[in-house]
Structure 1
Amino acid sequence: MALGVENTGRDPPRLAILAPLDRVAQVSGVMADYIEKAGLKRGDRLPTERELMVALGVGRSTVREVIGRFQALGVLESRKGSGTYLLQPISAATVHMPLRLEAENLREALLQTLEVRRGLEVEASAWAARRRTAQDIQQIEEKLDAMERVHLAKGTSGKEDLAFHLAIYDAAHNPLFRQLLEQMREAFERFWSKPFDRPDFARRSFPYHRTLFAAIAEGDAEAARQETLKILSVVEEDIKDMSQ
């Protein structure tokens, strides 16, 4: 079924129902197209979640995921009890959609994404050490404690590990770190979900998360860099060892 926006003259554009395949990415593109064709301006309120669900033919969770993705990009804002508002004009041509990585094999994909992670996470950790507030330290420690509990119980902690690193990104107080991660999350998650079907993947990096937190809490930017590099070095070693 073709995707797109059906314009009915003066009425707001009606969105075509989407096929199930790759729905979140499709909804993101159509939503951006809708915002442009509806002529929504900065400060305008978007239709309600229910109206978007009906127009798009998708469930509430999909609509919320797309809205959350646009919030991370800094173009939408949800106001409790009021609705979701446009913070800046966007279109399918100008808003950055999630990046895709087409690698020939898992090893290549993991190493390529690791290069990007190294560039982002090392600097985010250093800036977090310089700019963290008492509230940031509390948030990071809470995420770390949750990660440790799950890791000790199950031997793995993918979602909790991501939450820990997102808290560090937020502590850097530069919204571009999180925005870049949101754009790449789809490509990252595609390859980083239990790599090589090994529950012990990167397990050796676990202790360095606590020392990374300590460096950030102490405001030591260089130590934060080094602890992040230790984590990523273990990850790289496991990619190479487990892909042989």
Structure 2
Amino acid sequence: MASPFRSALAPLPPVDRARQVTESLAAFIDRASLAAGDRLPAEREMMAALGVGRSTIREAIRHFQALGVMETRKGSGTYLIRPVTSATVHMPLSVETASLRDALLQTLEVRRGIECEACMVAARRRTADDLAAIEARLVEMERVHHLKGTAGKEDLAFHLAIYDATGNPLFRQLLEQMREAFERFWEKPFDRPDFARRSFPFHRRLFNAIVAQDTEAARLETLKILDIVEEDIKDMSR
């Protein structure tokens, strides 16, 4: 009896086998809607379906294991730890630390470089349509903030619109993955509705810098926002 996976996984042309297997497996997991805890096809099934050797399959699996999205259980098989999608170029983040505070501060160090660069690139490349999209999300963020005193989802939408204005999809993917790693935390940071509230005015200033195509001002306003986030993480996690 033919394996049900044979119709979902197609043979690959001879190029970069390990990379192709990695991309093919990510696409298969996405199409099959595999969730955390689901078992992947056996090695021999993947070998037959993809037309590659065992060493190539194992190299791809090791890649996923290093990313923290798969684990191999002796005598049982390989299982998915975290969801993977074919659209995800860099796989979900795995931050290993006993302290949420330390993990957040670690990601913040990375975010400084990424977000400053993204805002500077957006300031250089933004189009009229980009500005309209960013401003629409800023206005909504301001509306919700004035109404509720906080605007977490709207704040994220504002920053994602800036990332989209860069024309580089990796910026959005990186920010979304970092947010996803602490999804429950960001719903109500430290059980404090006033978390990072002091950063609110700088979002309008950041938008104005992007409108003016002032890359240095965009960088400085981004740093002001992230500095306040860092201060609140430290103060509220004591």
Could you tell me the TM-score, scaled by structure 2's length?
0.66
Q: Call closer, same or farther: CA 1:12–1:187 in 2, change over 3 Å.
A: same
Cα distance in 1 between the residues matched to 2:130 and 2:144 = 21
User: Is 2:86 aligned against 1:70?
Assistant: yes
Q: Call closer, same or farther: CA 1:25–1:205 in 2, change over 3 Å.
A: farther
- 3-state SS of paired residue (2:95): coil
Contact 1:208 1:227 (8 Å CA) reproduced: yes
Contact 1:7 1:13 (8 Å CA) reproduced: no
Partner of 1:195: 189
User: Is 2:3 aligned against 1:8?
Assistant: yes
Deviations 1:209-243 (A, max 9, x none): 00000000110000000000000011111111112
The aligned length equals: 182
Cα distance in 2 between the residues matched to 1:234 and 1:98 = 26
1:193 Cα deviation from its structure 2 partner: 3.0
1:147 Cα deviation from its structure 2 partner: 0.8
Partner of 1:174: 168
> Which sections of structure 1, spanning at least 5 residues, go unmatched?
1-5, 40-65, 74-95
- 1:47-58 maps to which residues of 2 (within 5 A)? none
> Which sections of structure 2, spanning at least 5 residues, go unmatched?
10-28, 51-82
Cα distance in 1 between the residues matched to 2:138 and 2:46 = 38
User: Is 2:141 aligned against 1:147?
Assistant: yes
User: Is 2:98 aligned against 1:104?
Assistant: yes
Could you tell me the TM-score, scaled by structure 1's length?
0.64
Q: Call closer, same or farther: CA 1:122–1:9 in 2, change over 3 Å.
A: closer
Over the matched positions of the two proteins, sequence identity in percent amounts to 64
Cα distance in 2 between the residues matched to 1:171 and 1:105 = 34
Partner of 1:222: 216
RMSD: 3.3
1:118 Cα deviation from its structure 2 partner: 1.1
Contact 1:101 1:109 (8 Å CA) reproduced: yes
- 3-state SS of paired residue (1:70): coil
Partner of 1:57: none
Deviations 1:148-202 (A, max 9, x none): 1111111111111111000111111122212323443421424433221000000
Deviations 1:111-170 (A, max 9, x none): 111112111111100110011001000000001111111111111111111110001111
**Which has more radius of gyration?**
2
Partner of 2:235: 241
Deviations 1:44-86 (A, max 9, x none): xxxxxxxxxxxxxxxxxxxxxx79x53354xxxxxxxxxxxxx
Q: Report which stretch shifted further, 224-233 or 97-106.
A: 97-106
